Amino acid sequence: MPLTAAIIAAGGRGVRLGADRPKQFVDLDGRSILEKSVTALAASDRIDEVVVALPIEFLVTVGERLRGLSAKPIVCVEGGPRRQDSVANAFAKSSRDAGIIVIHDAARPFVTAELIARTIDAAGAHGAAIAAIAVRDTVKQAGDAEGDGSRPIRATIPRDTVFLAQTPQAFRRDVLARAIAEGRAIEATDEAMLVERLGLPVHIVEGDPRNIKITTPEDLATATAVALRTSGRMEGDGFSHRLIKIGNGYDLHTLVEGRPLILAGVRIPFELGLSGHSDADIVCHAVTDAVLGAASMGDIGRLFPDTDPKWKGADSIALLKGAMELVRHGGYRVSNVDVTVIAQKPKLLPYLDQMRSNLAAALGVETTAVSVKGKTNEGVDSMGRGESMAAHAVALLRSI
């Protein structure tokens, strides 16, 4: 029976994630995204060897670590400037006895053995196959943007004909060899596109919604939640040591003239407001960090960076709701939240009930599950001098 080789394309930089390293090396629940992807491919009983294309500066250090992940052969090669170049380099180093080649994105760490097997079987039968997800929404084809930024609809495309491509993608060796050789001069987003240009059929097998690709900070937060939900279970009664999660948050902003003072979504009459990229709502920011921290999903700066102009002047209650969508997707709900606001002036007592109500609505809990307290700083430091305000928050999450 011919061998099957897996190629993992990990030669890119992944700049959209905004991390301090290429995204494939970012930690995901204790291991890098790339390590999880390599382990998933190597664990399949349908895969005989794995070839990984890496940035040249990581060949030695990362390559040595990857080779220790499995008893199966794991070969590391230098990646190229484009994805298709990295795949071509890896293909050249794959075993000549490998009759089927499986190609997988390094940034899809949740691929399953069943999905790998489906794709391989279809490639063996038809020459080329990819995993893909059928779209659920109505699909519109749009024209160019007009002066007001809107775009006219040109056509409604039957959604039963539209699929979102994933990896793995699998090919008979002769089909992939021809696609690589004849496609060097063109730009392709995946190897299936190169095969399509040859006029050869590429078949679709059912993909997996859990087989997400990590590209943005939001993707990483979702992936972290998935990883936490599928690991860390205790033996015996199945009780998870992650059943209860506690997180804390903190935020501080300076007070300036010409800005509104907004705390927990409540506009408070005062001669000064908090300075910041968004509405500078320190209460919402602290609570957002507390719930994200409890769910191990990073912080508000990662999800809604102040370097992105779309968050300028943003409503922080809406940002908190967005963070809660990720938390709920990760399988957690808020049990209770406790907030302390440190402000010399103004007095916050008249506004605390509305602040609690706003936070409860954003968190999806009863008002009784939210506590907000106001404290002065006894004239000490910038908060005591009325130059700034701060908020501390603690959140308790429970698994759904």
Clarify whether residues 202 and 246 are in a common domain.
Answer: no
- Average pLDDT on 122-146 reads 95
Q: Would you place residue 238 in the very low, low, confident or very high pLDDT band (cuts 50, 70, 90)? A: very low
272 and 375 belong to one structural domain: yes
Q: Is 246 helix (H, G, I), strand (E, B) or coil?
A: strand
Tokens coding 79: 């990646």
pLDDT of res. 279? 92
The fraction of the chain above a pLDDT of 90, given in percent, is 72
Is the pLDDT at 18 greater than 70? The verdict is no
Q: Is 183 in the same domain as 254?
A: no
pLDDT band of residue 395 (cuts 50, 70, 90) is: very high
- The answer to whether residue 296 is domain-embedded is yes
Q: Is 131 within 8 Å of 118 (Cβ atoms)? A: yes
Beta carbons within 10 angstroms of residue 62's beta carbon: 21
pLDDT at 147: 87
252 and 210 in a single domain? The answer is no
State the pairing for strand pair 139-142/153-157: antiparallel
In-domain check, residue 220: no
Instruction: Tell me whether residue 72 is in a domain.
Output: yes
Termini Cα distance of the chain: 46
Under 8 Å CB-to-CB from 11, ≥6 apart: which residues? 53, 54, 55, 78, 79, 80, 83, 85, 86, 89
CATH number of the CATH domain containing 115: 3.90.550.10
pLDDT higher for 226 or 348?
Answer: 348
231-266 in b/e form (b: 16+ CB < 10 A) is eeeeeeeeeeebeebebebebbbebeeebebbbbbb
User: In 3D, which of 201, 41, 40, 204 has the Cα closest to residue 131?
Assistant: 204
Domain limits for position 257:
226-233+240-399
Is residue 192 located within the same domain as residue 245? Answer: no
Q: What is the pLDDT of residue 234?
A: 29
- Residue 147 and residue 39 share a domain: yes
How does pLDDT run across 59-99, given as a tens digit for each residue? 998 988 999 999 999 999 999 999 999 999 999 999 999 99
Number of domains in the chain: 2
CATH number of residue 392's parent domain: 3.30.1330.50
Mean per-residue pLDDT, 155-166: 94
**One domain for residues 197 and 256:** no
Residue pLDDT, tens place only, 338-391: 999 999 999 999 999 999 999 999 999 999 999 999 999 998 999 999 999 999
Based on the fold, state whether residues 197 and 246 are members of the same structural domain.
no
Beta bridge partners of 114: none
The verdict on residue 8 lying in a domain is: yes
Do 49 and 182 belong together in one domain?
A: yes
User: What local confidence, expressed as pLDDT, does residue 15 receive?
Assistant: 60
Contact 394, 245 (CB under 8 A): no
pLDDT at 308 over 50: yes
pLDDT given for residue 121 in this prediction:
97
Separation between Cα atoms, residue 2 and residue 304, nearest integer Å: 49
Give the CA angle between residues 320, 393, 247 to the nearest 5°. Answer: 85
Does 113 lie in the same domain as 29?
yes
- The least confident of 15-24, 29-38, 93-102, 109-118 is 15-24
β partners of residue 371: 338
Q: How much is the pTM?
A: 0.60
Residue at 190 is within a domain: yes
